[in-house]
Amino acid sequence: MTMRLRPIEWIILAAIAVSLFLLFVRLGGGVGYFSPDTLEFKSSSHDLLDWPTPHRNELTEYLIRKGYWSPKETKSPRWILMFEWWPGQRDGYSHLCRELSGRRKEWIAWSETNPEHAAVLWPDILQILRDDPNLGRTRAEELLYATRNELPLPIDGPASHQ
């Protein structure tokens, strides 16, 4: 004897299947990283079927072209968390993400206008990030904020990272 499902049971099963599919395949949100070694960004959604592709933005390309930054060959690049967000979350972007990505055109213009300062600032930022990606992110954020706002440098400014 075979058991036949009533139409309402089919609807309930279909709703459960669609919900499970959305839960496991389309979670929403995303995460992004920056490597102070390869000088690449990578981001992906929280979807289970998403593979991040490393890339460089125009500021990073500019800094490499000007000779302020250069990629470091490594088999295991380190990655600094730049942002993470979920649906319904208001903000999950780090200050470093805002500076290197959101203000990238402003920083290129500033570097063109202030080449002497840029020749010191950008290598220092990269060295700080390479010395300690976790603490370095905060120190780099402070230094970029102070520079952008023409404030005195933090007490343990770039020269102290050596």
* Residue whose token pair is 């060959």: 73
Structural domain range at position 155: 30-161
> Is position 19 within any domain?
no
d(CA 19, CA 85): 21
> Is position 13 within any domain?
no
> Is position 132 within any domain?
yes
Kindly state the helix (H) or strand (E) to which residue 68 belongs, with its residue range.
Answer: none
Q: One digit per residue, pLDDT tens: the chain, 162 residues? A: 567 878 888 888 888 877 666 555 555 677 788 999 999 998 776 555 556 678 899 999 999 999 999 999 999 999 998 887 766 666 667 888 889 988 999 999 999 999 999 999 999 999 999 998 778 889 999 999 999 888 654 444 444 444
Per-residue confidence (pLDDT) for residue 123, from 0 to 100: 97
> Is position 126 within any domain?
yes
Beta strands per DSSP E along 63-103: 80-85
Q: What is the pTM of this model?
A: 0.71
> Is position 2 within any domain?
no
